[in-house]
Every structure is written in C-alpha cells, then in structure tokens.
Structure 1
Amino acid sequence: MAKSEDLVKNLVVLPHEYEWLDFKESWFSKDEIGEYISAISNGAALCGREFGYIVWGIHNSTHEIIGTTVNFDKDVNHEPFKHYLARNLKPSVAFEVEEAQVDGKRLVLLSVPAAKSVPTKFLSQAFIRIGSSKEKLSKFPEWEIRLLNILSNGIPTIVSMAAPDYAQELTFEKLFMYYGAKGVALRKETFKKSLRLLTADGRYNIMALLLSDANDIPIRVSVFSGKSKADTLFSVKEYGNSCILYAMDKILEYGDAINIIQADERGRISERKDVPLFDYEAFHEAVLNAFIHNKWLGMNAPMISVFTDRIEILSHGGLGLEQDLEGFYKGVSIPVNEILASMFLQLRLSERSGRGVPKIVGAYGRESIKIEKNFIVVTIPFNRINVTPFELNEGAGSDVPNGSQKGSQKSSQKSSQKILRLIAENARITTQEMADALGVSRRAIAKQLANMQAEGIVKRIGPDKGGYWKIL
C-alpha cells in the first residue's frame, strides 16, 4: 500500500479534527485553500508537529470515506493552481498534494510543513485554527504570542518550562528516599543535572516541581455512591501536593486495597473460585500511563474516579505529538513526557516493552480507552459476582432475596448489606466512618462487624490502624 494511503487511514481514525488536521469533501476555493494552508502550518507548529494535513473525500463530521472530485491540477487566473498557492505563501511552504485510493474511493491529501521561525502567511495574512474554525491570527493576540514564542524557543515541555516564581525554593528529600528504596543511588552534587531539573537559565522547571517534597498539585481519588458524578460524592482522598512518585504509589496501593476477592460459587462442584473485583494489572498500567503521559504543564494532575461499577483514570493532554492511533493501541508508545518516562524506566516502574495499553485492551477491549483531543480516559469495569444480597447502585435498603427471614434477623441482614456496601466502596473505611455514614453508634457497628467476621462474611486484614477489610 502506498505511503499516502497508510497516512490517510491513520488520520481518518482519529476522533477529531485538530489545529493541524482538517477534513473536506469536495469543497474548493482558490484563496480559502491558501488560508487553510497558512492555518494548518501555524497550527502544526503550535502543536509541535512536523506536518499538518488537509484530506479531501472525508465526511466532515462522521469521517466516513466518501471520495472527492477536487482537482489541484486546474488553472487559476491563467496559471497552475499549485503555482498560485506557492507564489502567495510567505515564507515559502513546500506543501505536497497526493492522490490516494482507499476502499475504492479517490482521496486527495495535502501535506503542509509546520511553520518555522515566523508564522506562515497567505496573501500577507497569517491564519490559525481555533478548534475546527479558520481565523485570522491577528484576532487572537494570545495565540499569536504563544505561536511566536514556540517558533522562537520550541514547544514547552516539563523540562524547558520554568516552575512559577514562588516555587523556586524546592527540596528533594523524598525523592532521595524513593530512589534509595529502589536501590538506585542519587548524587547530591549531580542529581539536578542528571534528572534535568533545571531550565537553560538555571531555574527549577516543572519536572523539579513534580518531584519536590512540596508542590501545589493535588492528586485526588474521588469515590461516588453511584454510577455517575451526579451521584453523591462519598469521599475524596488526597495523595498529591508532594513528590508524584509517592502519590502514584499511594494510588496503586489504594487500588490493591479495594480490589476485593469474591468467592464465586456459581456451578460449584468442589472448590470455590476466587475472583478479583477487577484486573489489577490493567489498573496498574493505566495509572502508570496516566502519570507518564499526563500534560503536567497546566498543573493538572491525573484524576481517578471510583464509581459503583467501575474506575475511571483520566490523564490530560491526549495522544503524544507524533503518536498515531493504531500504534498507540499496539503499544508503540511515544511518551508525552520523555524525561519522566526515562525516570520511570530507571526506577523499574515501567518497561520499554510497550505492554501497558495492550494489557488494558486485552482485558477490557479498545472501548475501555476513550481518546479525546485534550484527555484520555481509561475505564476499568468491576466484575461483580452475584453472591451477596446487594448491588451497590441499588441502595442499601433492598431486602434479602430469602423472604422467610424476619424480625431481628432480617434487620441484621440489612445492616450487613449496608456495611458490605461501604466496605466495597472503601476497603480501608474505619468503624467510626461506617457509624457516621449509617447514622448509628460506633458500638453497634463494631458488634455487627464481629458477627460478620464470625460468620465468615468479612475479614480484617492487618491492624485496626492501617489495615483494611476483605469481603469473603
């Protein structure tokens, strides 16, 4: 298959148009095409891409391949159209026009190099893409300043971008402890240079801020009482405002704690089968990827949301600059934060094998990863075994199926259901937190838990302080 056809197929499967990508059907306007070349060229520079593209023969909203009749070889004003475009683009832009056959349909691919040094103009006017709209760059001074800065200094990264002025007095004791625990020695004399923690002018960068003992980047795990964020927020756990390596480990530990092992006795003949609530390896890889590929420049951390039927792990920033969709799903990873990715490799937190996304896809399918323009969400669904008389999203007051139980026994079962619901939502919940949530005394909860342990319904793992509950 021709290279242009491969490229078109990779572009068509992207979920959106971008500052560097536009789809057309058979639309043709001699001057507007020149304006679009200017906009795509400048947009590619803004996004750190080497090229931008316009593809004719694609439905604008559905991305369906429909074919096109557009012709770039026609004459315009008594000269070849390509020559007309090239003559009016400043500085000179070596764009290329290629035809491709995909699914028996004729497509036209216009490849546009990113702007260099100065913005690309058509008929002395620079254009930019705002969302999917083409606009004059002069109408958006903030975008113009950003573009000029990128053309002069390159795309900002967590290494090249300085931390805020108030964050220039940083300490790194936790970082040294973390490296030591992994058996890797850091030298105080050279660690700032070896870990790339300083900008070219000697200031602490965003990378340094992320790894410092104290920062103002909150990393939260939000636990909801239902299946959506419209449901009551049950609890919020803060793991940020410090070295992100420790924060990430805490989130992984939390995931391990809530991954209750369920006894599956369906069709039981001899031994029962223990089934975890979710695939922990997939969860682990999703969290690692979220931290490595998150767009930390905006001081926005990954977000973890726990619902009654799933966990959602959101990272900001979308795909890497040169990452294509098919390569992403196959594990051909192009890190958003290359230096941070190298650190994770050094600490043996991740591998170069690219198994992270394939592991998630293997467990839950491609549909478990939602890729948007500015974020990626990985959904880890819960595999609930229907052996306990409750469903978290149905409320705790539903009756036990066996209608023959009455009086205090039935009341006790309802209390057990409510406690099981709380434990399933938060395995580290304390007795007092259960009492507060259910509006009863701590003594009553302690008595009920003792009965449930005696009956083999739940088990306490570890000490009262620092341990967690396990549903049997």
Structure 2
Amino acid sequence: MSRSQEQLEELVRALSALPQETEWVEFKENYSDLEGIGQYVSALSNSAALHRKDRAYMLWGISDESHALVGTSFKPKTEKIGNEDFLPWLVRLLDPQIHFEFFEFSVSGTPLVLLEISPAAHRPISFKGGEYIRIGSYKKRLQSFPDHERRLWQVFDRTDFESGVAKADVASNDIAKFIDIDAYFKLLDMPAPADPLDVLAVLASESIITETTTGRWNITNMGAILFARDLTSFGPLGRKALRIIHYQGSNRVNTIREQVGTFGYAKGFEGAVDYLLSRLPSNEVIRVALRQTVRMFPDLAVRELLANALVHQDFAITGAGPMVEIFEDRLEISNPGEPLMDHWRFVDTPPRSRNERLAGLMRRAGICEERGSGWDKVAFQIEYYQLPAPLVEVTDENTRIVLFAHRDLKDMDREDRVRATYLHAALRWVNREKVTNASVRERFGIPGSDLPKASRIIKEAIEDGKIAIRDTSAPPRYRDYVPFWAAGRNTES
C-alpha cells in the first residue's frame, strides 16, 4: 500500500468528512496504547470484512468530535515494546498475518498518522489470541457478539478471490497503465466507448475495477490476473504468473529454458499457447505414404489443459502458481489446489470452479470451452491419436496432469492400459456409446483378429475396479462395459 502525498491528503479529506466514526474507521489524537492498537487492528480488520469494505483506517491527529485536524505526537515507527520495535512486535502477534501500513505525514504543517488495514480474508484476525470486532464505534471481544461472529464467518464463506483488491486508489487516467483495457474489449469482441467515463462504467460492471470513497479506483484481483500489463506490478499476484520450463531429457536435471509470463491470463493466453506449442517435441509419422512431422501432443488438448490450470487453481495458496514442464517424453501441467471433484469423474461431471466469475469471463473471451466440454475434448484427442491416457496426480495442495508421448501397446504397463481403458469407457458413456471388445481393439490399435489381447486388457480394468460389465447375464461374446461409477445404470438413459 504505497501512497503519494496527494493520495494521503485526499484520503484524510474523505475520512474527516464522515459524519462520525464507523465500524471500519477510528479517529484518535495522541493515543499510544500499543496493546490497544493491536486490538484495534483486529477489530477494524474484522469489521471491514463484515461490512464488505476493501480497507479499514485509524487516523491520528484528528478531533473525535469536530473532525478538525489537530496534529499528533504519536510516532509508530519509533515506538518499542521492551527491546522490540513496535511494528515487528505487532506483526508477530496478529494471526493470521494481514497487510497493514502506517503513514507519517503532514497536511498544511499538521502532523498526522494514518494506519491502513486490509480486511480479514478467510478467518477472523486475532491479536494475542483474542478476536475483536467494532460495535458502532466501540471495540469489543468478538466472542461476546455471537451474531456478528456468525455473520462474519458467512462472509468468509462467500468471499471470492476475484473481489479482492490487487491495487488500491488508482486515478482513473492511470488505470490503463496497469491493465490492458484495449485487450478487454478486443477479447470480448465489444467496441470500446468513446467517453472515458463509459469505459470505466463497463469495467466496473465486470468487477474489473471498483470505485473508492475518494472517487479513485481499486483494480480487483480479477482485473489484474486477467488483464495485467505486468503481473509483477500487483505485488503477490506476480507469483501467480504462468511458468513454462523446458528440460533436456526426461528429468529435471538440466533446464533448456524457463519462461515466466508477465501478462494477465486473458491478455497473454494466446501468446502462452503459441510459445508452449513451439517448444513441444515433434514426431515423424507416415500417413497415406507421406512422411509428416507432427507435435507430440494434440494442440487442442494442450490448450484445454492449460486453460483449466489457470481457471481452476486455488488462489488462496500463496507463493505458487500454474506451471508447465516439458520433457522429451511427457508434458506436465500443474496448478495450486486440489480439484473440487473426484478426478476419475472429470469426463462425466460438469466442472466446478473456485473462481466462477473469472471462469465465466474467460469463457466469454473464448479462452475456455463451454461448461463441461473441456475434459471431454482432451479425452477425445488422446483417443484419436492413440496416446496413453493422461495421468492425474493430486497432492495436498497441487493438481498435476501428465500427458505422455506415444507408446506402442507393448511398451505400456498395466497401469497405462487400465487408465486408457477407463477413459475410453467414460468417454463412450457420455457419448451414449458402448464399450466392447471391438471398441477396445480400435482404441489400442489391436488387429481385428486378436480378440484375446483386447479381452485381457478389459479383464485387467475390471479387476482393478475401473470398469464393470454392464449386464453380467449376457454371454461373454455379447458383453459390453461401463465405467465403474455407471455400473447398474442404463447406457441409454
């Protein structure tokens, strides 16, 4: 939260013009009870969250009654608790830690101090183990007001990443320095209004920016993550930039090149896809007596999986972002966060996203496919090119999708065969088609005369619990098969 002198003066004028203190604004003259200040930080942060304010403030040097600027002798940056400086002491005793900043400055020669505090995000802020809240203009223990506590937790449950503030108090004519407004209108295939005020109104209607109490603008997380000219200008969001790493060979020992994106996801998506595709290894194949060079992985599958990694990541996990790793025999695409559904059900279950508004805008921009179709298209492409089925790996705070280069059936292990057979069954189920010995032979490129080989693959998938016989009373040669979760259901329903 860096602020110019002009911004500080504007903010003081706006705060002093309030008719009285609010739940998120406190006035003091020379208040220097450091323990009390810690409690105020907790109370103001929690109250700002409860009342959906993007900041809370504590202003020293102002009369509580008249709101006249009277000056202050309080110097927070030189205060100490024993031998410890006040500011690191305060940071240490707040849980969870939030961003706050003290500004010491003067207005017309009158010394003032402004404390600017971010709202609580995922749980109440406590100071020395105690949680506080503002009741009117009074600081109280949160536990003494169970209704406020309940409502605060409801706010946390409804708070989304997109609404957060990435950059605060930006002048209207400076917004274009940080986000690419032209990219927004181009991607949405909309003409840009001639009047700058109408442009601001459109961006505000999309929650790309929000107006502040001083008539300036906050750029939201959604606006920054999608349309930033440079994500590093938005502080922690810079860690969410897409990384593409190309390795030599099949391990991470030697890096050929690492590329870190700077643009917002929507603004930079096509460039990222083009760059990624240009780095992928190629294979030579013979089609109709002609030798052709094709990329190791289908373009559409790569595009869909990259879009999914960007859209469905968990932004609450700090210090990590989406990443693509290119090896000579595989492609790994990972993002922070676990999927919100069982990964075995990606094909048949409509996707759920933590970031619905971000996903919606990405879909309107043509970057994501329509709801429910993305993973289906990946599965179809993998089957069409007879590649090994993707591997989904889920850890405590990460999801990784692995695409493998082509392998002949003789080079696949049991896990590869079972995974491919399951994906084949899931894809055919959603397309109202049956899995048979013949369809499995086609999936793996098995000659039509080799029924036993396909039967052995089907048996492995049944034994591993990934597919099931649809009608166990049918004779073996007439049987067809379904994904494990569709056992007992009618394919035609």
Tell me if TM exceeds 0.5: no
Band the TM-score falls in, shorter-chain normalisation = 0.3 to 0.5
TM-score of the superposed pair, with normalisation by structure 2: 0.42
With CA pairs under 8 Å and 6+ residues apart, which has the higher RCO, 1 or 2? Answer: 1
TM-score of the superposed pair, with normalisation by structure 1: 0.44
